[in-house]
Amino acid sequence: MRSSTLKLLFCGVAFTTLAACSDTTAPTPVSGAARVIAIAGMQQAITAGEAAPDSLAVVVYDAQGQFSVNAQVRWSIIDGDGTLSGDVATTDARGIAKVAFNAATRTGVTHVSAQVGDASPVLFEETTIAAAAARLLPMRAATDSLSTGDAFSGALVHVIDQYGNNVPNVMMTVDVQNASEDDFLSSSQTASDVSGVASTFFATGSLGGQRVMTLTTDGGLTISFTLNVYASAARKN
């Protein structure tokens, strides 16, 4: 009888110990990614030919809401131009993976995808903008003949960067040398529009002679137009 009692007590203790061990066993990790979230580098404006200020970054979570460590994030350019520092990046201890984006030399919008397994991909939208103004291209003849009272107006200059992209919002001062008192200049400043084109309006007065119109950017680029003004009856072509 004593032997049977001890045997039962031993089995009870063993069962309790096994149950306790079972309760403290760590849960089995869930493989793969359940969710990918963009955390940095979204919707950046990047100068043509340069690297994005911030890396594109995502955080990956598994099905239990924990950081997915060592997950392989596949990066690809869906449309547009530019290059990535790599096609695959591995998540760190915080579930974060990054890639650098370098803008192309042509302006426009680029979409980049980040995907892990069957999880829904994340899209980044990066915009490449023009570099600094590098050249002023004339849109009118360098020398023109006008009658007194005529106007020299409209699109005058096309502003481009070193890659040939249109450069908007470039401020220019407009100066007319040898102008007569009754000449009219609409403004002493002008700026390039979204197409990189700058315009102005200048009307000659009653006196003939030569005027020189010069446009100068804040960066020191200049372009000049020579206007030979004749009395209306004596205009020379």
User: pLDDT tens, 34-71?
Assistant: 899 999 999 999 999 999 999 999 999 999 999 999 99
Would you say 82 and 126 are in contact if contact means Cβ atoms under 8 Å apart?
yes
Its pTM surpasses 0.95? no
Name the average pLDDT for the chain.
88
CB atoms within 10 A of CB 99: 21
pLDDT of 134 higher than 50: yes
**Radius of gyration (C-alpha) of the chain in whole angstroms:** 35
Domains of the chain, CATH where assigned: 35-129 (2.60.40.10), 135-234 (2.60.40.10)
The residue assigned the tokens 């040398």 is 177
Residue 142, C-beta contacts closer than 8 angstroms, at least 6 positions apart: 224, 225, 226
Would you say 135 and 196 are in contact if contact means Cβ atoms under 8 Å apart?
no
DSSP annotation of 154 = E
Predicted confidence at residue 34, as pLDDT, reads: 85
CB atoms within 10 A of CB 132: 13
